[in-house]
Chain A
């Protein structure tokens, strides 16, 4: 297994390298720069600014020096926030996005798995139909419709929570619910399908014949195999939650990295854009690896290869 992990990590290096290179040159070849603003900056000041950030050097030298810094874990200074480094900004904003993402994932798992298991165990009951409705709503009602509707109902009409912000614990409720809901629906469908497949197998019949209780059959015998599809979905789900938080952070005015990323792209804050892309890419690679490891661990039929 260690060999598998090491090899996958080694494979990730060229992938990240390509991403860094592609993004670096993409942001440089676009019209407009970080210092183009409404009011024209005098040319001397512009020259000084560019010299200060090393933008006056040839592009390939900037690229090489950037690569060197990234390899040492330094993502450079921000072009828009004077005197602040990208590392600082990410260090400040990422925890907020991670908190939101973790809560959303919890919502998805805590709602999705039990509902899916119950729907499979009590097929065609009212619970199964409820699960079907949730699954359908999750597909048809995107976050940017659900979020504003929840704000309209719970914040504006009922006044239970704030419409936006990130101070009180109650400010977390609506964003986490909105972001987690779609994935709760997917996880519910996957859990239900996975459990149905397992519960129809011979070893379950054997367990029944031996007099195991229904609870033990579902939890002890069923879950391990039935949750496999959910585990393989977790990687994409977490990735989706990360990027999905761009919209959620915009709707609910959450001061996280997602909103910062969209703003930095608008502002042409090259280093901040690059830093965020590298971070997200590294997170995705790590998540995919973790998903694969857990999958093999749960299903001995698969091998590390």
Chain B
């Protein structure tokens, strides 16, 4: 079956040949220096976290009791901790966990939020009222407290952490997507799709979602730092990943306990974490400007 009425992106201005919305956005994004800087830092950090631990001479759990608390130097670039483990490797390995949690939990939040919001907005009427009322109620709950309870009671299990964090962060996404779908529902190309006899699911996911990718992408980049903060928050309270594994949050926790004599144990993980949050936020802001998304949610 030939694709019915390609769901054309709403034309903004005059679209010259080869100048799609994505193309325009990319050009605008490249002009935004802070966003490019953020993106570059993220790329370098990701590559380092993925490849670094393989290239290093040390393992992240390799204990060397002859070289505990070694200051940064030639052998250990960022020094070692109380068990003589190399901080750089632990930092890169922790980055895999922190970035991984950030991506996976955001994916959970994205899936729930987009589906929920799209269905509510598309259905409208009573179903919409009930669904959004539920979101309002959940919004008012002390959710951080529930995540803490979950982590304490059901063991510090990393999969549970994805689910718990994802389950907290989907609400705003649902609100944004619902608003966008409601606006799109009144457009003519949706009427056309309906006139062609397409099913609801097809209209919703093939014709509507591609048109609201902008806000979804922007809000996703802003959800990742929020998720990473929550993971680090849990790890800092001792509820996140357990040793000998490390995440940036747990490294900061360990560093804070020993900063008096060995400040590098706090400063390096803290800097890398802050740098990542900085990059994600600027990339998100840059994408918002580039995609010209006005309603940024909260």
Contacts and interface: CB of A to CB of B under 8 A. Distances in A.
A63 interface: no
A141 interface: yes
Given A26-B149, A148-B255, A152-B259, A280 B142 contact: yes
Nearest to A280: B142
Given A30-B153, A139-B278, A145 B270 contact: yes
Q: Looking at chain A's contact residues, is the secondary structure mostly helix, strand, loop, or mixed? A: helix
Contacts of B277: 139-140, 142
Interface in A118-158: 136, 139-142, 144-145, 147-149, 151-152, 156
Interface in A274-291: 276-277, 280-281, 284-285, 288
A216 to B, nearest CB: 32
B149 A144 contact: no
Interface residues on B, range: 35 or more
Contact of B233 (A23, A144, A147, A239): A144
Interface string A206-226: 000000000000000000000
Interface in B244-267: 249, 252-253, 255-256, 259-260, 263, 266-267
Contacts of A281: 141-142
A281 B278 CA distance: 32
A89 interface: no
B148 A246 contact: yes
A161 interface: no
A241 B277 CA distance: 20
A27 interface: yes
Nearest to B233: A247
A55 interface: no
B51 interface: no
A242 B144 CA distance: 10
A141 B253 CA distance: 14
Given A148-B255, A262-B237, A243 B145 contact: yes
A60 interface: no
Nearest to A262: B237
Contact of B270 (A149, A246, A247): A149
Interface residues of A, number: 41
Q: Which of A148, A266, A273 has the most CB of B within 10 A?
A: A148
A265 B153 CA distance: 8
Contacts of A173: none
Q: Which of A144, A152, A156 has the most CB of B within 10 A?
A: A144
Interface of B: 137, 140-142, 144-146, 148-149, 152-154, 225, 229, 232-233, 236-237, 249, 252-253, 255-256, 259-260, 263, 266-267, 270, 273-275, 277-278, 281, 298
Interface of A: 15, 18-19, 23, 26-27, 30-31, 136, 139-142, 144-145, 147-149, 151-152, 156, 236, 239, 242-243, 246-247, 250-251, 261-262, 265-266, 273, 276-277, 280-281, 284-285, 288
